[in-house]
Amino acid sequence: MAVALLHHLLDGNQTLHFLSKSSACRRPFTLRPIRVTMSHNQSYWTSINGEIEAHLKQTIPLRPPLEVFEPMRHFVLSAPETTAPALCVAACELVGGHRDQSIATASALHLMYTASFVHEQLPLTDRPRPKSRPMTHHTYNPNIELLIPDAMVPFGFELLAKADDPTQNNSDRILRVIIEIARAMGSQGMVEGQYHELESSSQWDNEEVSNIAWIEHVCKKKDGGLHACAAMCGAILGGGGEEEIEKLRRFGLYVGMIRGMSSGIGKKEKGLVRVVEELRNLALKELDEFEGGKFEAISSFVNA
């Protein structure tokens, strides 16, 4: 799971140069070549993902009731990768925060994303399977696959609330993060995206234009919303200013949409190449005022 997470984002030892447009920017946009070298960033992502995985293993030990915790641990450690938790930590560090301030939130994001994924795969009576969702192997029976995610989501919120540290006087930040994650996972985020994915999947093969609009909407609500929330929460926890928080939220939104379009529901849709390229430019614009080694690392997210 998490150990391998993100490695495929970095495509070899090459150096990439992104040049962004300035026309849509309110202030003059500096054209800046971004050097993304694998050797540097790989160790950065490996270290972040290692810490998230260690935190998850520590917080979900094999304790009684084993019938509940064993599948929870299995789901968490075998879920498909998402880059949102690592982005949360990277955003925290980009604004000058310490990694420890965001690891619990990154773990909670992984828990909730996993819960959402397991419910997506649940075999329901009379349920049509969207073509965008691959068939998956079911290790547990449907009751377990329904119940355990219902335990994982509250557990994620417990992790968030327990990150409150009186010595840091960070209650306000923690409560704000809880609200942001609740919105991203709920009725105007992930669940709305899942609803549209289910209800509209029958139109998948009909019209290319509406397909693209539909894919964009689903990616915005699902991967986009999750990554926007992750980056925003990392910036909040790291003590970023409101402008930095908003820039990282938009960066996360674009990056998440790129992820969804490149490796998720849009991966077979050739008409999205131009949209993805535009999203890359928009994402990089948001990083214009950040600097240093962490800037290089987080920039590599646009390279899905």
Which positions touch its own copies (CB under 8 A)? 65, 67-69, 72, 112, 115-116, 119, 122-127, 141-143, 146-155, 157-158, 160-162, 164, 166, 171-172, 174-176, 178-179, 181-183, 185-188, 190-192, 194-195, 198-199
Nearest distance, CB of residue 146 and its own copies, angstroms: 6
CB closer to its own copies out of 71 and 85: 71
Nearest distance, CB of residue 153 and its own copies, angstroms: 5
Distance between CA atoms of 46 and 52, rounded to whole angstroms?
Answer: 10
Q: How many CB atoms lie within 10 A of CB 288?
A: 18
CB closer to its own copies out of 86 and 115: 115
Nearest distance, CB of residue 184 and its own copies, angstroms: 8
Nearest distance, CB of residue 285 and its own copies, angstroms: 29
Nearest distance, CB of residue 250 and its own copies, angstroms: 22
Which strand (E) or helix (H) includes residue 255?
A: helix 242-263
CB closer to its own copies out of 99 and 183: 183
Phi, psi dihedral angles at 292 (to 5 degrees): 90, -175
Distance between CA atoms of 89 and 234, rounded to whole angstroms?
Answer: 6
Distance between CA atoms of 23 and 3, rounded to whole angstroms?
Answer: 39
CB closer to its own copies out of 185 and 232: 185
DSSP 65: S
Torsion (CA) 124, 129, 134, 139 in degrees, nearest 10: 10
CB closer to its own copies out of 34 and 109: 109
Nearest distance, CB of residue 81 and its own copies, angstroms: 21
Token pair of 149 as six digits: 């995610």
* Contact (CB, 8 A) for 24 and 4: no
Q: How many CB atoms lie within 10 A of CB 172?
A: 10
CB closer to its own copies out of 141 and 210: 141
